[in-house]
């Protein structure tokens, strides 16, 4: 019973950081433009994150190797360093975007000035990271993020056409209208679901919490069902975009507009709930990106790290997340539209993805390192299929971004 409770808690916790600013905006915009027809991209992205997350967790538990130690060993120091810089720049941009989003939601709740709210958010988040243990950070924001389920409830309450929704599971390879835009949003949704900071945070957590091979069952359950719970909310976002915005020819360009859709069929209390859920998810994502930046650096250079250790015992790690928060604050207050940062983080996230996915797949398949916990044949085939898909999406991401002017409809 205690084990089951732990797993349930883990599944709900996996939600923290899963739904972030990029995912909310990209998915709703996709629904507003293409109805349910990009549902397949959510399914594909969810399957990919489950595969990647499970492998990262397994590698961390069995090989006791965090992601960036694996990247360094597999790609070599020089190229690994390039990947580390790219990955941390991405974390920084994402963190800045999330901070901007947090300030927007706080303004919708309090009416205070946005720049003041960004400062307040950074100070509170910094204090939380400094004083809370890893498990508390993970659980607090994960569980608070469950309030985002109001999105899925709103979507169901609007009575979507289930037949049409199911039709969206089939990819359209030659869409009749705006094909470039269609594939831009397909890549965007896929990428937003696969944001690597979530996985790096998760696998570092497995090491922080001293998981052993006995916990591999829990690792699978949390990866699979936690991601599915997040995917359910993402489907809700797509449905709301399709049902609230598409018929009115609205292309949502502000976070506040997406929040209106989040509680559309209900009264004020649901709107407040959606805002609080969004706030929890964005706070979770901001914390995870800041911590991921510090984890990545320490793991790559083989330095002491750990949120459960005293900040003085891990000076580089502590300086790392503080620097991430301070720099993200600077970027966030100097850019007037956080949505610009969201576009950059989602698209560049896809470009970096193959370079961290491949080393993990390689180690997870290695019988010398993983012994009896190495990938099975089926795991290897699945992993390779996703590697090909991720590589195709990564190659297409920037050209699509340029050709569609970052997804502007015409």
Partner 1 sequence: MTLPPFLALCACSSHKILTSDDLRSELVSANSYASEMEMFIDYVRQGQATKTFAAAHARQLATEIAHSEQELASTTPQPEDEKAFKSCKGELEFLRRELPVIPTLMGNDSALRLERAKVAASHHQFAATSLL
Chain residues binding partner 1 by CB under 8 A are 104, 107-111, 244, 248-257, 260, 263, 266-268, 271-272, 275, 336-337, 405, 408-410
Q: How far apart are alpha carbons 146 and 346 in whole angstroms?
A: 23
In three state form, how does the secondary structure of 69-103 look?
HHHHHHHCHHHHHHHHHHHHHHHHHHHHHHHHHHH
In angstroms, give the least distance from the CB of 260 to partner 1. Answer: 6
- Using alpha carbons, select from 151, 156, 185 the residue that is nearest to residue 278: 151
Q: Considering beta carbons, is residue 8 or 256 the nearer one to partner 1?
A: 256
Residue closer to partner 1, measured from CB, 194 or 274: 274
| Widest pairwise Cα distance in the chain | 59
d(CA 358, CA 239): 33
Whichever of 92 and 117 has its CB closer to partner 1, that residue is 117
CB of 348 to partner 1, least distance (A): 22
- Residue identified by tokens 């690792």 is 219
Q: For the CB of residue 386, give the shortest distance to partner 1 in the complex, in Å.
A: 34
What are the distances in angstroms from CA 208 to CA 79, 205, 306, 319? 27, 5, 6, 18
Of the pair 74, 104, the CB lying nearest partner 1 is at 104
Q: Per the structure block, which two tokens stand in for 315?
A: 């000076």
CB of residue 99 vs partner 1: minimum separation in angstroms? Answer: 16
State which residue, 110 or 308, has the beta carbon closest to partner 1.
110
- Return the number of other C-beta atoms located less than 10 Å from residue 340's C-beta: 14
Q: How far is the CB of 310 from partner 1 (least distance, A)?
A: 40
Is there a contact between 176 and 186 (Cβ–Cβ < 8 Å)?
no
Give me 345's structure tokens. Answer: 């983080």
For residue 313, the minimal CB distance to partner 1 (Å) is 43
Residue 56 or 242: the one with the smaller Cβ distance to partner 1 is: 242
* Shortest distance in whole angstroms from residue 18 CB to partner 1: 25
Residue whose CB is less far from partner 1, 107 or 135 = 107
Query: Nearest 10 degrees: CA dihedral of 338, 320, 300, 193?
Result: -30
Among 192, 224, 199, 230, residue whose Cα is nearest residue 98: 192
């Amino acid at each position: 019973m205690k084990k089951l409770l732990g797993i349930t808690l883990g599944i709900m916790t996996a939600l923290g950081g899963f739904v972030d600013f990029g995912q909310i905006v990209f998915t709703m915009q996709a629904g507003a433009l293409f109805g349910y027809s990009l549902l397949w991209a959510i399914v594909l992205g969810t399957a990919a994150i489950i595969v990647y997350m499970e492998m990262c967790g397994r590698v961390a538990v069995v090989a006791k190797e965090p992601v960036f130690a694996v990247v360094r060993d597999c790609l070599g120091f020089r190229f690994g360093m390039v990947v580390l810089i790219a990955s941390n720049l991405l974390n920084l941009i994402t963190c800045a975007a999330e901070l901007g989003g947090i300030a927007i939601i706080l303004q919708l709740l309090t009416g205070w000035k946005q720049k003041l709210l960004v400062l307040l958010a950074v100070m509170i988040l910094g204090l939380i990271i400094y004083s809370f243990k890893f498990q508390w950070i993970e659980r607090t924001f994960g569980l608070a993020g469950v309030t985002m389920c109001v999105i899925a409830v709103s979507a169901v309450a609007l009575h979507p056409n289930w037949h049409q929704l199911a039709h969206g599971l089939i990819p359209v390879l030659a869409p009749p209208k705006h094909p470039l835009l269609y594939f831009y949003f397909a890549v965007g949704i896929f990428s937003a679901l696969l944001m690597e900071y979530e996985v790096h945070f998760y696998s570092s957590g497995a090491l922080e919490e001293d998981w052993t091979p006995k916990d591999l069952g829990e690792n699978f359950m949390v990866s699979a069902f936690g991601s599915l719970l997040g995917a359910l909310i993402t489907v809700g976002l797509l449905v709301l975009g399709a049902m609230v915005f598409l018929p009115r020819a609205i292309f949502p360009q502000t976070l506040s507009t997406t929040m209106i859709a989040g509680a559309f069929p209900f009264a004020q209390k649901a709107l407040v709930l959606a805002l609080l859920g969004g706030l929890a998810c964005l706070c979770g994502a901001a914390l995870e990106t800041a911590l991921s930046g510090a984890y990545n650096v320490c793991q790559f250079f083989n330095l002491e790290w750990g949120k459960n250790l005293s900040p003085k015992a891990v000076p580089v790690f502590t300086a790392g997340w503080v620097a991430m928060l301070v720099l993200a604050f600077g970027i966030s207050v100097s850019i007037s539209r956080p949505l610009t940062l969201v576009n950059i983080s989602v698209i560049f996230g896809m470009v970096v993805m193959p370079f961290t996915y491949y080393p993990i797949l390689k180690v997870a398949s290695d019988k010398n390192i993983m012994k009896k916990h190495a990938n099975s044949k089926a795991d290897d085939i699945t992993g390779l299929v996703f590697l090909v898909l991720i590589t195709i999406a990564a190659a297409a991401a920037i050209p699509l971004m340029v050709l569609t002017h970052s997804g502007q409809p015409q």
